[in-house]
Amino acid sequence: MASEPNNKMDEALKAYTTKRREDAGSPMELHPATRKLLQGEVARVYAKKRSSGASGFMGVLLRFWPRIAAATGTLALVAVAIFGIVPAVREQKQTARLAPAASSRLEKFSEREVLDREKAEMPALKPADELSLAQNNAPKQSDSKRDTAALNESLKSNVRLQSEDKRAYRPREDQSGVSAPAKAPKPVDQPMPLARTEPAAPAVNKPEDALAKKNVEEQRTLSYADAKLKSAPGQVPLDDSAKASTSALLAEQPASNLSQLAAKDASLGRASQTVLNLQETNGSGWYVQTGMQQLGAAAPLFDNYSYGVNLPVLNSFHFEQSSNRVVIRDLDGSVYTGDVITTPQLTGESLKEAEKIQAGKELDGVRRALREPEPQAVFFRAAGTNRSLRKPVTIEASLSSASAQPQSEAATPPPQEPQSRARSSSGGAGAVSPAQRSQSLTQQDSSVRFRQYSTQQPISVIRGRAMIGTNQEFQIQAVPAQR
Amino acid sequence: MSDDKHSEALLLSRCLKGDAEAWDELFDRHYQAAGRFVFQLGYDFTREDVEEICQEVFLTVIKHLDSFQGNCQFQTWLFRIAANKARDYRQKQHAAKRGGGQSTIPLHPLDTDEGIGIDPPSPLPGPDAALLMTERLSLVGQALDQLPEPCREVIDLRYFADLSYEEIAASLGLNAKTVSSRLSKCLDRLESIAKTMLSAEMKEKTSAGSV
């Protein structure tokens, strides 16, 4: 402990303290008035503290209500801002997603120009394009077998089609004994149908084993056509390379197997359309016809006749399908892109539509009797942003196509019809003589002709539904515009 | 000692709950010490001044008892409040005197009807000695008033509150050695102030005598 350094002042202070304590006199007592005042203050202060502290949460709420109110208001503002901004950001992202689509569309346009130029060059090949090859060409049997083997490898299915020699090609008129007139070249804007005869041993000249072989080949052909129509009904796309390969194939081996070509188209194609049709020749076999139509510039325009659509969405639109890719262009410039979907991926209305189509197939017999074309449906799902509404639009629909030929005109058999006939002929091969067969086929002379895509444009109906945003849904029932 | 601390802690906890009886007990326990302490803080404080200051001190204790953290004894905390209130009161008093303010009037009426109170014989020394002593102590008191606040606080707690260095250190949040050195310096300063005042007074008396 430090000693007192200043003794004089220490003593003086002690003396001062003693004197002051003596001056204070008797001990001071708390005056009752002062005590009452202090107790009143105690009651006031601690009653308020008790009331504020006793109520717990309510006390805290009452004490800090301005801060709580400010914090709550701030949170509400932030929440409103977030809920307002997030959809806008989503729309921006969708717009950004559409930008590459637009660029790809431009690429497609340029691609179309190239295709159009090539298409203009194609008429030189026209005379060689439409080829109907007769079946009975025995020296080419080895070629047919070789092509069939190649097809088996490429398609990985049990389909085999034998090609026929180009020299053996004869129109029906030839087979009926009338000399075939020189084929007039087709108009330039028509698609290029390709036809190849189905291989079969000549029924007249060959013995029974040849006839059996022919029946087998017919069945294979029909099964291939069936599979083709089911998997890609009426449409097998073709791109530049496919087209080039097609041209080369036609130039080098015009009578090669069309199925092989179609399979190649299916594997490569994108911007064109291939239609396979089966035609029966005069008692000699079946033709497989391929019609190609360039898409893009001539994409069909659809009008939506669904009731109650008062929105600028899909009232009239162009529809394009390239391979599994679907592009819908609305009149306001909106582009919806998507993919063709298989049945297990279908949902909602599309699934119902698919079920309807499936149920319709059960009426196949009735259709055959009425010569009603079988509907072929392509289910697709597309999405995009509508430019007018600035909202995302999702489309789930099916493109059903059927022949537009009137029912009264029984000239062109439906695709299934030759199959049934082939089955009947193959099943009753022993019952129907070649002469009777030839006669019946002669009666159906008018029905044995090429089904060209351009002359028999299929009626395409798009049915389905579209969803604007997340809660606005409407139906689509669109048919090609009559313009 | 520990029992006193424990009982004091219990008393303070009861006071914090608003127990009126606890507050009465607290007033009875500390009012006299606080009054005596305050009376020493001013060389011219009257009992009325002390009562007024003590009232302010205990009102402050009631309002801010929850801020007492128990770092020191409650009485030490109370004396610090009292020292601050006494300083404020002195400053207010001096301001009133400078501005020609009126002196305080005692609330307690005189006992006699004529207004003349009982004047018992004083035990103090004779009038001359008493006068000298009074003048000397008055000089010390005036010198204390001129001390800066840190020095005044240490001297008040040491001499008027009778606190040890450790208690002062705990109360002020200082080291005990720091308190000792600060007290030593403050006493030196007090002496210099007192000498200055004494020399000035002597000069006045000399000049008055010569005149």
B195 vs B203: CA distance, rounded Å: 12
Residues A281 and A344 in one domain: no
In angstroms, the separation between the Cα of residue A32 and the nearest Cα of chain B is 11
Q: Is B141 on the interface with A (CB under 8 A)?
A: yes
| Residue from the list B18, B24, B159 with its beta carbon closest to the beta carbon of A50 | B18
Return the higher-pLDDT residue of A329 and A452. A329
Return the pLDDT at A422: 39
- Considering the domain boundaries, does residue A93 fall inside one? no
Residues A250 and A367 in one domain: no
Return the higher-pLDDT residue of A135 and B43. B43
Mean pLDDT, residues A26-55 taken together: 81
A477 vs A474: CA distance, rounded Å: 10
* Whether pLDDT at B7 is above 60: yes
- Considering the domain boundaries, does residue A372 fall inside one? yes
Residues A197 and A248 in one domain: yes
- Considering the domain boundaries, does residue A444 fall inside one? yes
Range of the domain at B29: 1-100
- Considering the domain boundaries, does residue A424 fall inside one? yes
Q: Is B68 on the interface with A (CB under 8 A)?
A: no
Return the higher-pLDDT residue of B96 and A435. B96
Return the pLDDT at A297: 42
A158 vs A90: CA distance, rounded Å: 49
Within 8 A by CB and 6+ apart from A246, the residues are A238, A261, A264, A265, A292
Q: Is B33 on the interface with A (CB under 8 A)?
A: no
A198 vs B196: CA distance, rounded Å: 138
Return the higher-pLDDT residue of A480 and A437. A480
The residue behind tokens 């890609």 is A232
Residues A226 and A267 in one domain: yes
Residues A370 and A419 in one domain: no
Partners of residue A23 in chain B, C-beta under 8 Å: 39
- Considering the domain boundaries, does residue A120 fall inside one? yes
* Whether pLDDT at A56 is above 50: yes
Return the higher-pLDDT residue of B63 and A444. B63
Return the higher-pLDDT residue of A288 and B200. B200
Residues B67 and B134 in one domain: no
Residues A282 and A328 in one domain: no
Residues B88 and B10 in one domain: yes
- Considering the domain boundaries, does residue B144 fall inside one? yes
Q: CA separation (Å) from A228 to A159, A367, B195?
A: 10, 20, 125
Range of the domain at A431: 114-176+188-294+414-448
In sequence order, what DSSP letters do the residues of A181-229 get, joined into one string? PPPPPPPTTS-EEEEEEPP---TTTS-HHHHHHHHHHHHHHHHHHHHHH
- Considering the domain boundaries, does residue B17 fall inside one? yes
Nearest CA in chain A to B166: A1
Is residue A306 packed enough to be buried (19+ CB in 10 Å), middle (13-18) or exposed (0-12)?
middle
Residues B5 and B96 in one domain: yes
The number of folded domains in chain A is 2
Residues A307 and A429 in one domain: no
Residues A319 and A467 in one domain: yes
Tally DSSP H helices, then E strands, for chain B: 8, 0
Residues A155 and A217 in one domain: yes
pTM above 0.80, yes or no: no
Residues B68 and B147 in one domain: no
Return the higher-pLDDT residue of A155 and B45. B45
Q: How many CB pairs under 8 A join A and B?
A: 123
- Considering the domain boundaries, does residue B156 fall inside one? yes
Mean pLDDT, residues A155-175 taken together: 45
The number of folded domains in chain B is 2
Residues B95 and B133 in one domain: no
Q: Is B140 in contact with A43 (Cβ distance < 8 A)? A: no
Could you report the per-residue pLDDT of B22-69, keeping only the tens digit for each? 999 999 999 988 988 888 888 778 888 889 999 999 999 999 988 888
Tokens of A371: 């010569």
Q: Is B39 in contact with A21 (Cβ distance < 8 A)? A: yes
Residues A353 and A375 in one domain: yes
Q: State the CATH number of the domain containing residue B84.
A: 1.10.1740.10
Return the pLDDT at A316: 84
Residues A383 and A418 in one domain: no
- Considering the domain boundaries, does residue B44 fall inside one? yes
DSSP β-bridge partners for residue A386: A391
* Whether pLDDT at A285 is above 60: no
Could you report the per-residue pLDDT of B162-183, keeping only the tens digit for each? 888 888 888 888 888 999 999 8
Residues A193 and A285 in one domain: yes
Residues B179 and B93 in one domain: no
- Considering the domain boundaries, does residue B18 fall inside one? yes
Q: Which of A110, A320, A291 is nearest to A196 (CA)?
A: A291
The residue behind tokens 């497989």 is A288
Return the pLDDT at A471: 81
| Residue from the list A31, A42, A49 with its beta carbon closest to the beta carbon of B51 | A31
What pLDDT band is residue A76 in, cutting at 50, 70 and 90?
very high
* Whether pLDDT at A54 is above 70: no
- Considering the domain boundaries, does residue B201 fall inside one? yes
Q: Is B180 in contact with A6 (Cβ distance < 8 A)? A: no
Partners of residue B24 in chain A, C-beta under 8 Å: 35, 39
Q: Is B62 in contact with A8 (Cβ distance < 8 A)? A: no
Q: State the CATH number of the domain containing residue A347.
A: 2.40.128
Q: State the CATH number of the domain containing residue B193.
A: 1.10.10.10
What pLDDT band is residue A428 in, cutting at 50, 70 and 90?
very low
- Considering the domain boundaries, does residue A3 fall inside one? no
What pLDDT band is residue A123 in, cutting at 50, 70 and 90?
low
- Considering the domain boundaries, does residue B90 fall inside one? yes
Could you report the per-residue pLDDT of A250-264, keeping only the tens digit for each? 444 444 444 444 444
The residue behind tokens 């294979």 is A220
| Residue from the list A4, A16, A31 with its beta carbon closest to the beta carbon of B141 | A16
A384 vs A97: CA distance, rounded Å: 9
Within 8 A by CB and 6+ apart from A137, the residues are A164, A165, A167, A168
